[in-house]
Amino acid sequence: MSQKASSLRKWIKTILFAAVLAFIIRFFLLAPIVVDGPSMLPTLKNGDYLIVNRLSYIVGEPERFDIVVFRATKETDYIKRIIGLPGEHIEYKDGNLYVNGNIVKEPYVEQSRISEQQYFYFTRDFSLPDLPGNYREIPEDYVLVLGDNRPNSTDSRILGLIPLDQLVGEAHFIYWPFKRIGTVN
């Protein structure tokens, strides 16, 4: 075999290996997503490009306040924040989050409130039984998700609880626009 043919074969193997590796990373480990709409303001903005870690919930469990991408319909993925975990009772009263009767602070929501007048109306009062499904506590293998921009978000208040098997992954990194590059908080 000539040196030229041997060199060509090495290049083809290298390119094929790189393509297979890229395919595995893209479809099994990381996925790009573009934020569409204002439901996660001010944390995420319309048009932000994110990297989603698909392994997050294969090797770990969801945690409160994770920002997740999930399958809302066969054609559409949504991005929201996990508020309630399996076994918990969630309630909003007077603009405050209660988990199993204990108040839990939401610093990212504090940034979203425009004025003190909006304080009580930013997240309208509700209790877990008020949501679709009429649950007393979040069942195993489900989470409750809300957008950070509560007055303008289609989330568990409308969709109901989200099955864990519909979670695509956890949003970790904004890679575009350039001025917003960084980790997702």
Active site residues: 39, 80
Radius of gyration of the chain (CA): 21
Give the sign of the dihedral formed by CA 183, CA 53, CA 26, CA 141: negative
- Strands (DSSP E) found in 85-156: 90-93, 96-99, 102-104, 126-127, 142-146
Helical residues (DSSP H) of the chain, grouped into ranges: 3-24, 56-59, 107-112, 156-159
CB contact at 8 A, 57 and 164:
yes
Type of residue numbered 43: T
Which letter does DSSP use for residue 108 in this model?
H
